[in-house]
Amino acid sequence: MTCMRKYFYLLLAAVVLSGTLIGLVINSVIKWNSGNPVVRTKLGNIRGLKAGNGDYSMYLGVPYATVDMKNPFGRSIPFPKFEGVFDANDDSVMCPQIEDYNHTLTGSLDCLYLNIYVPNVASVQNPLPVLIYIPGGRNEVGFPGRHIFGPTFLMKQDIILIIISFRLGPYGFMCLNTPEIPGNQGPKDQLLALKWISENIDAFGGDPQRITLAGASVGGLHATLHFMRTKYPLFQQIILQSGTRAYPLIMTNSNVTVPHRIAEELGLKTDNTSEAIKFLTIQDPLAVIKASSKLNIRYKVCIEKEFDNVENFITRHMAHITDIPSIRKMPMLIAHSNNELLHHYASIDFDKANKNIIKNILDALFDFGEERFERIEDQVKHFYIGDEEVSNKVKQKIIDFASDTVHNYPVKINIEKFIKNNVKKLYYYVFSYFGERNFIRQIYGVNDSFQGAAHLDDQGYLFDTVPIKDKHSPNDQLMIDRVTTTWANFVKYGDPQPTTSELLPLEWKPVTKDSLFYYNLSLNLSTGIQPFPKRMAFWDLIYKLYGKYERLPTTH
């Protein structure tokens, strides 16, 4: 009996001890302080906020890096350990810019933050997959806060959501071919964010081995380059949302005249680059942004020159990167809208202006030479508008032309490249729904006479966006459910439709070398083997005959 009692007490002690250890492990993820969650990370404690509906926690403005104020146009510095508890409760900060919605000059260089949203079900025993989102914005604007990227819809899908803030304009994309300012500081900020997330997301109940990187618009370019640049990316899956564009429009060489021009606008005339940078370093960042905007300087990812002890982002044009080792183990989801450039041209009066739009776009993309140009322009015009002149009568066909050259055909080119590189699995959808939450249509005020979805219109069905927050029909709710389920399925399983369901009843096949299978994501679902087949066949022919004349920046 004594032995039995002794055995019982030892067993009880073991159970209590194991329970205590489990409790300690759970508490190492999230503790609660006055109703707010506190996370213990390797860098210290972070106190977040409980969402209003109580279903998830928010950690707003979590710093991952700091800008070196001695060289604000150069590399950023990983954020050191927190002193005490860091209160992550402010998502209002943005990097210096003239923001898109009110066109106000705003922001601070103290802006390298993450907004992290965690469903209540996350824990050490139940680590959730993670979706990291790089916003778009032409490399010049971007706000990572809840005003645009509200997490409510995605939190219902039991995934962790993280939005990255990074430097923009001259601070993020000045490229001077020097070790101090080699270029692509914004994407390098993102790289530090990816490293921070990989090392710390387990503390939030996230799974560092199930990270999906998504990029929207130009953020999609950044995401593409993150996996093309290395054999060992810090994520396992990728989503490109309206994020593939014609090569000449997205990459460039260094431009040492940029600091000279901005400095002159602010009062210093010099041809000495070091002197110009020294001057700009001590200027108010908002003054620098304002001067850059006034000069209409456009910022792109650049081809970097290699230096010893300087980490490069990319040193070859993506068109020339033919071997992509990481893609062989990485599922991909590629998406775009069926009327991508609708918002750019819907309000233009083609009866009075932009008569040379076809010529101008072709000239931006190709260097045909004078002898060929007129002939090729006539071929393109005839294909899209027949014998008509550029006018409002053929506006939709002009939008088709612009969408094909800038987005649709470049998507086809990249998909074929990824398939050739033996991508693990690639899924493809075209968003064509037109409802009250079409984000870009609403922001640009596109009238209802135009059908289909514009660039990034699916964003309004992915995020709870304040500018269109109160617009919500039953059909819109159905599309919210379809879009968020598509994304969440991919984040969880590497497949947007692991099984058919009431929401997604049609079989969703991956793309193959023989079929660019796509899902038409709309109210009336459909599938196909190639979007816009006749138009894409036309561009196949154009590129076969004249692709060598495409304007591409050189590699150092």
- For residue range 422-479, list pLDDT tens digits in order: 999 999 999 999 999 999 998 888 988 999 999 999 999 999 988 887 778 999 999 9
Nearest one of 180, 170, 185, 173 to 265, comparing CA atoms: 170
Residues 141 and 107 in one domain: yes
**CA dist., res. 400 & res. 408, Å (int):** 9
Q: Are 403 and 339 in contact (CB under 8 A)?
A: yes
447 domain-assigned: yes
Query: Is the predicted pLDDT of residue 21 greater than 60, yes or no?
Result: no
pLDDT digits (tens, 9 = 90+) for 490-549: 999 999 999 999 999 999 999 999 999 999 999 999 999 999 999 999 999 999 999 999
Residue identified by tokens 């939008």 is 399
pLDDT digits (tens, 9 = 90+) for 58-116: 999 999 999 999 999 999 999 999 999 999 999 999 999 999 888 899 999 999 999 99
pLDDT confidence of residue 365 = 94
Query: Is the predicted pLDDT of residue 33 greater than 70, yes or no?
Result: no
pLDDT confidence of residue 34 = 57
Q: Is 14 exposed, middle or buried (0-12, 13-18, 19+ CB in 10 A)?
A: exposed
* Eight-class DSSP state of 288: H
Residues 289 and 149 in one domain: yes
Per the prediction, the chain carries an average pLDDT of 91
- We report the CATH number of the domain holding residue 53 as 3.40.50.1820
Residues 169 and 188 in one domain: yes
Phi/psi-derived region of residue 276, left when phi > 0, alpha when psi is between -120 and 50, beta in every other case: alpha
pLDDT confidence of residue 101 = 81
Count Cα neighbours of 458 within 13 Å in the Cβ-side half-sphere: 29
Residues 226 and 100 in one domain: yes
What element of type H or E holds 342?
A: helix 342-345
Give the 3-state secondary structure of residue 260.
helix
Q: Are 144 and 45 in contact (CB under 8 A)?
A: no
pLDDT band at 328 (very low <50, low <70, confident <90, very high): confident
Q: Give the dihedral sign, CA 143/149/150/155.
A: negative
Count Cα neighbours of 24 within 13 Å in the Cβ-side half-sphere: 6
pLDDT confidence of residue 163 = 99
Residue identified by tokens 């927050």 is 469
Q: Are 119 and 56 in contact (CB under 8 A)?
A: yes
pLDDT confidence of residue 316 = 85
Residues 112 and 134 in one domain: yes
Mean pLDDT of 319-332: 84
Joined tokens for residue 74 = 């150069």
pLDDT digits (tens, 9 = 90+) for 224-247: 999 888 777 899 999 999 988 777
Q: Which domain holds residue 88?
A: 34-313
**CA dist., res. 349 & res. 55, Å (int):** 48
325 domain-assigned: no
pLDDT digits (tens, 9 = 90+) for 105-155: 999 999 999 999 999 999 988 999 999 999 999 999 999 999 999 999 999
Residues 218 and 344 in one domain: no
324 domain-assigned: no
Q: Give the dihedral sign, CA 433/439/440/441.
A: positive
Please enumerate in sequence order all residues whose Cβ is within 8 A of that of 52, keeping only pairs 6 or more positions apart, or say none. Answer: none
Nearest one of 254, 229, 300, 290 to 103, comparing CA atoms: 290
Residues 62 and 121 in one domain: yes
Considering the candidates 217, 254, 292, 403, report the single residue annotated as catalytic. Answer: 217
Residues 24 and 42 in one domain: no
Residues 289 and 417 in one domain: no
322 domain-assigned: no
Give the 3-state secondary structure of residue 362.
helix
**CA dist., res. 367 & res. 349, Å (int):** 28
Residues 378 and 302 in one domain: no
Residues 23 and 43 in one domain: no
What element of type H or E holds 518?
A: strand 518-521
Mean pLDDT of 11-29: 38
**CA dist., res. 226 & res. 393, Å (int):** 42
Query: Is the predicted pLDDT of residue 16 greater than 70, yes or no?
Result: no
The full length of the chain comes to 556
Nearest one of 361, 408, 99, 406 to 250, comparing CA atoms: 406
Examine the residue annotation and report whether 217 is marked as an active-site residue of this protein: yes
Joined tokens for residue 348 = 């233009």
* Eight-class DSSP state of 109: S
CA distances from 416 to 221, 224, 410, 422 (A): 16, 14, 10, 10
458 domain-assigned: yes
Query: Is the predicted pLDDT of residue 12 greater than 60, yes or no?
Result: no
**CA dist., res. 412 & res. 542, Å (int):** 14
Mean pLDDT of 386-412: 96
Please enumerate in sequence order all residues whose Cβ is within 8 A of that of 444, keeping only pairs 6 or more positions apart, or say none. Answer: 343, 346, 347, 454
**CA dist., res. 97 & res. 130, Å (int):** 28
Joined tokens for residue 133 = 């989102």
Count Cα neighbours of 7 within 13 Å in the Cβ-side half-sphere: 4
- pTM (predicted TM-score): 0.93
pLDDT confidence of residue 172 = 98
pLDDT confidence of residue 10 = 40
424 domain-assigned: yes
Joined tokens for residue 140 = 């010049």
| Side chain identity at residue 85, one-letter code | V
pLDDT confidence of residue 335 = 98
Q: Are 195 and 173 in contact (CB under 8 A)?
A: no
The residues pairing with 163 across neighbouring beta strands, listed in sequence order, are 115, 133
340 domain-assigned: yes
556 domain-assigned: no
Residues 525 and 455 in one domain: yes
Phi/psi-derived region of residue 139, left when phi > 0, alpha when psi is between -120 and 50, beta in every other case: left
Joined tokens for residue 195 = 């490293």
Joined tokens for residue 520 = 């038409």
**CA dist., res. 241 & res. 228, Å (int):** 17
**CA dist., res. 137 & res. 417, Å (int):** 26
25-34, 155-164, 414-423, 460-469: segment of lowest average pLDDT: 25-34
Per-residue buried b or exposed e for 339-371, using 16+ beta carbons within 10 Å of the residue's own CB: bbbbbbbbeeebeeeeeebbeebbeebbebeee
Q: Domain tally for the chain?
A: 3
